[in-house]
């Protein structure tokens, strides 16, 4: 018996597309199922100005295969030198949909991020005034804070103070990994949303470390204990408008992952939607998948939902996903949930 499920075409509210050969290889993997994505600006060098975002957008559109429709929603990388007027102009032109805050040193290509939050106050105030959302990589980088505690400490020490000091600033807590973050979102009445990745609904920290280290499960923020994964499942599948999909699909070639100092990032663009159907069905919440993947995000970003639809099919035979995506820089391993998936996108 096959089962089908038709959804408004989804969006990915947090995606890494990179540039050059990698962009060309991974873009079709997202464009196949998604209408739009919020594009992360952590290139080398980062996408800081409106002019850089416009040029990156053009490179993305040039890399899109003929016949595929996809709209990149551009972001600016917040630095201590970011000019509030440049941000406002990039927003007013419709080019930029969010500004990304990386604490300096938090993750891949974040060395230009923010150390002194007072220095970005004028930008944050301008963003509150014009209604431009701030996307946060919510981890402190202090060496004395345990890596598994960095998200919870960020909420108390950085995020909550910023939000109190900047009324009206709309914030997306990106790729939340803890019950603390899900609870913080639930406790706030306005101006706060959160993205949740596919992989954080599937793996906990044991998956990374038990039975041999699994570099393809390593990402930042790192997966936490099982109780946190379960809290994320509850939040994502609840239908609550404050939680929406941001895959954080982050391609690195195998040589960079399977290394003595492996890069952070899980590549999930290709199989995210089937994996989510599995997760939502397992939790008896298939009816809320469309909210999480296709409706809550546009509502937060004050954009229309995508006009098209996708249809998911559940078959008796397990779906055969590729294990790797080829790029001219080398192969990229696709996230493997570790169990068979029977859903696919028609």
As annotated, the active-site residues are 248
* x/- track of binding to Zn ion for residues 195-234 (CB under 5 A): ----------------------------------------
- The two three-digit tokens of residue 94, written as one number: 């419709």
- Residues of this chain, 92-131, that bind ligand DOR according to CB under 6 A: 107-108
Contact present, 196 and 239 (Cβ < 8 Å): no
Which span (82-90, 234-242, 246-254, 315-323) binds Zn ion, by CB under 5 A?
246-254
Residue 42 makes contact with ligand DOR by CB under 6 A: yes
- Give residues 248-267 in contact with Zn ion (rule: CB under 5 A): 248
- Phi/psi of residue 290, nearest 5 degrees: -65, -35
Query: Which of 263/279 has CB closer to ligand DOR?
Result: 263
Residue appearing with tokens 């001219």: 328
Count of residues touching ligand DOR (by CB under 6 A): 10
82 near ligand DOR (CB under 6 A): no
d(CA 139, CA 152): 8
For residue 86, the partner it binds in ligand DOR, Zn ion, none, with Cβ less than 5 to 8 A by kind, is none
Contact present, 41 and 18 (Cβ < 8 Å): no
Provide, rounded to whole angstroms, the least separation between the CB of residue 25 and ligand DOR.
15
Binding mask 185-224 for ligand DOR (x = CB under 6 A): ----------------------------------xx----
Residue nearest to ligand DOR (CB): 219
Closer CB to ligand DOR, residue 89 or residue 264? 264
d(CA 220, CA 45): 20
Confirm or reject binding of residue 177 to ligand DOR (CB under 6 A).
no
Per-residue x/- track, 251-290, ligand DOR (CB under 6 A):
-------------xx-------------------------
Least gap, CB of 126 to ligand DOR (angstroms):
25
Q: Which of 57/199 has CB closer to Zn ion?
A: 199
The β-bridge partners of 14 are none
Closer by beta carbon to ligand DOR, 327 or else 344? 327
42 binds, among ligand DOR, Zn ion, none (CB under 5 to 8 A by kind): ligand DOR
CB 50 within 8 A of CB 10: no
In the chain the beta strands, taken as DSSP E runs, fall at: 3-8, 11-15, 36-39, 71-77, 96-101, 134-136, 171-173, 192-196, 243-245, 309-314, 324-325, 332-333, 343-345
Torsion, Cα 46 50 52 54, to 10 degrees, reads 130
Nearest in space to 58 (alpha carbons), one of 42, 44, 39: 39
**Cα end-to-end span (Å), the chain:** 16
- What is d(CA 96, CA 301) in angstroms, rounded to the nearest whole number? 12
16 binds ligand DOR (CB under 6 A): yes
| Contact residues for Zn ion, defined by CB under 5 A | 248
């Amino acid at each position: 018996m096959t089962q089908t499920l038709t959804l408004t075409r989804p969006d990915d509210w947090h995606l890494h597309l990179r540039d050059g050969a990698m962009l060309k290889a991974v873009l079709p993997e997202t464009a196949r199922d998604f209408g739009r994505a919020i594009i992360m600006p952590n290139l080398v060098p980062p996408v800081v100005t409106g002019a850089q975002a416009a040029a990156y957008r053009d490179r993305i559109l040039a890399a899109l295969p003929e016949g595929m429709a996809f709209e990149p929603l551009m972001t600016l990388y917040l630095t201590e030198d970011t000019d509030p007027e440049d941000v406002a102009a990039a927003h007013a032109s419709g080019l930029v949909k969010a500004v990304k805050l990386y604490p300096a040193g938090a993750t891949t290509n974040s060395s230009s991020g923010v150390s002194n939050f007072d220095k970005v106050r004028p930008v944050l105030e301008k963003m509150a005034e014009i209604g431009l959302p701030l996307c946060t990589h919510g981890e402190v980088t202090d060496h004395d804070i345990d890596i598994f505690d960095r998200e919870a400490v960020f909420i108390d020490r950085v995020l909550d103070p910023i939000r109190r000091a900047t009324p009206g600033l709309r914030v997306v807590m990106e790729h939340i990994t803890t019950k603390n973050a899900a609870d913080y979102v639930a406790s706030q009445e306005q101006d706060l949303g959160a993205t949740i990745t596919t992989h954080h609904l599937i793996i906990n920290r044991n998956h990374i470390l038990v039975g041999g280290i699994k570099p393809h499960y390593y990402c930042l923020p790192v997966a936490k204990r099982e109780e946190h994964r379960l809290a994320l499942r509850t939040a994502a599948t609840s239908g609550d408008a404050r939680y929406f999909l941001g895959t954080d699909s982050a391609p690195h070639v195998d040589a960079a992952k399977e290394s003595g100092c492996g890069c952070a990032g899980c590549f999930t663009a290709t199989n995210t939607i089937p994996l989510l159907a599995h997760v939502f069905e397992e939790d008896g919440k298939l009816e809320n998948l469309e909210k999480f993947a296709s409706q809550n995000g546009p509502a937060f970003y004050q954009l229309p939902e995508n006009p098209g639809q996708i249809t998911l099919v559940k078959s008796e035979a397990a779906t055969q996903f590729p294990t790797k995506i080829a790029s001219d820089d080398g192969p990229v391993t696709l996230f493997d949930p570790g169990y068979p998936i029977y859903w696919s996108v028609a």
